[in-house]
Amino acid sequence: MKNLNAQLCETNTKDYVVQATAANGQVRALAAVVTGVIDEAVRRHQMWPLASAALGRTMAAAAMIGAMQKGKEKVTIQIIGDGPLEQITADSDGEGNLRGYVQNPYVDLPLAENGKLNVKAAVGNGHLWVIRDLGLGEPYRGGVPLVSGEIAEDFANYFAQSEQTPSAVALGVLVGVDGGVQAAGGLILQLLPEASEGIAVMLEHMIRDLPPVSSLIDSGSTPEDIIEQAIGDLQPKYLHRLPLRFSCTCSRERCEAALIALGAEELEDLIREQGRAELTCRFCQEQYLFDEQELKNLQAQARKTRDRESSEK
Ligand SMILES: [Zn+2]
């Protein structure tokens, strides 16, 4: 367990988000390389390539949206569609912690007409939700219907509709022949309120001419290189660089709390029928095992909680 925790905290130095402004503050740019983080997610979930591409794109966007948050403020992205992947979930925060999973990671479909993985068909029709938890009680939840299912366009539509910020979004994942992630990352360009019409047109051209971000990353580009390549002519000024890592908040204590919350009777059934409990974190696949004696101890705690609650009524 200790080794795994050490592994979770390890930072891959190549994975980070950089934020910049350009054109004298008319444009905000974010670029991310997340190859190591996505490869770890894919390995933990033993995902098939289509799920790897969909989750990688979503987590790259989550990393950049998270980088716009302050410190512990959390962002959760949910893409819920009627395609076979069912649901994609990614969490991030302002400290570079990233995690995510796909409801059904074992999806295989014929390639799209352009010869690429058919993410659109795997996602289907549905909604994109962005949930921001600023630690002030009720989280802020904004959502838009999916317009494409290819994910990048869906985020661009989210920024335009839900946050009134015209944006261009590019996301890319290159899955290797061995199923590992060879390159993953993204770019977000946003027009700030004082942007002129001329800048908007210029950005459109610059984005159209940009090679796929996954190819740029595969050939060794850093997030700064991606921004230079996209909008180098607009004199980007780099503000903030945030290292990224795959990191999960699950723990044995949280599993214990979840088991206690089942209640004494449910735990009694579990002890009688299985004599043990095995909990798997859906975000990171970490397994937590509880034997009969541990379950009995938790059951005793559940009884105590129940007695205390009923005496308070
Ligand atoms: Zn976990």
Residue 82 confidence (pLDDT): 98
Query: CB of 301 within 8 A of CB of 260?
Result: yes
Task: Quote the ligand 1 centre to 286 CA distance (angstroms).
Answer: 6
Sheet holding 245-246, edge to edge: 140-145, 126-133, 74-81, 87-93, 97-102, 245-246
Task: Quote the ligand 1 centre to 38 CA distance (angstroms).
Answer: 15
Task: Quote the ligand 1 centre to 62 CA distance (angstroms).
Answer: 17
Residue 9 confidence (pLDDT): 46
Residue 310 confidence (pLDDT): 79
Q: What is the pTM of this model?
A: 0.91
Residue 50 tokens, joined: 């289509």
Residue 12 confidence (pLDDT): 62
Nearest to 188 by CA among 18, 5, 26, 306: 18
Task: Quote the ligand 1 centre to 248 CA distance (angstroms).
Answer: 5
Task: Quote the ligand 1 centre to 19 CA distance (angstroms).
Answer: 28
Alpha helices by DSSP H, the chain: 2-9, 35-45, 49-67, 119-123, 152-162, 197-208, 213-218, 223-231, 252-262, 264-273, 292-312
Q: Which long-range contacts (CB under 8 A, 24 or more apart) does 256-262 make?
A: 256/290, 256/298, 259/290, 259/295, 259/298, 259/302, 260/298, 260/301, 260/302, 260/305, 261/302, 262/302
Residue 134 confidence (pLDDT): 86
Task: Quote the ligand 1 centre to 233 CA distance (angstroms).
Answer: 43
Task: Quote the ligand 1 centre to 99 CA distance (angstroms).
Answer: 8
**DSSP structure string for 140-156:** EEEEEE-SSSSSHHHHH
Residue 6 confidence (pLDDT): 44
Which residues keep their CB under 5 angstroms from ion ligand 1? 248, 250, 281, 283-284, 286
Task: Quote the ligand 1 centre to 249 CA distance (angstroms).
Answer: 6
Task: Quote the ligand 1 centre to 103 CA distance (angstroms).
Answer: 15
Residue 196 phi, psi dihedral angles, 5° rounding: -85, 160
Q: Can you list the domains of the chain with their CATH numbers?
A: 10-246 (3.55.30.10), 252-308 (3.90.1280.10)
Helix (H, G, I), strand (E, B) or coil at 83: coil
Task: Quote the ligand 1 centre to 247 CA distance (angstroms).
Answer: 8
Q: Which long-range contacts (CB under 8 A, 24 or more apart) does 134-141 make?
A: 134/69, 134/73, 135/72, 135/73
Task: Quote the ligand 1 centre to 48 CA distance (angstroms).
Answer: 20
Instruction: Report the C-alpha gap between 298 and 258 in whole angstroms.
Output: 10
Write down the residue that tokens 């921004």 correspond to.
227
Per-residue pLDDT of the chain (313 residues; tens, 9 = 90+): 434 444 444 556 899 999 999 999 999 999 999 999 999 999 999 999 999 999 999 999 999 999 998 877 999 999 999 999 999 999 999 999 999 999 999 999 999 998 899 999 999 999 999 999 988 888 999 999 999 999 999 999 999 999 999 999 999 999 999 999 999 999 999 999 989 999 988 888 888 889 999 999 999 999 999 999 999 999 999 998 999 999 999 999 999 999 999 999 999 999 999 999 999 999 999 999 999 999 999 999 999 988 888 777 6
Task: Quote the ligand 1 centre to 3 CA distance (angstroms).
Answer: 14
Residue 206 confidence (pLDDT): 87
Task: Quote the ligand 1 centre to 252 CA distance (angstroms).
Answer: 10
Task: Quote the ligand 1 centre to 39 CA distance (angstroms).
Answer: 16
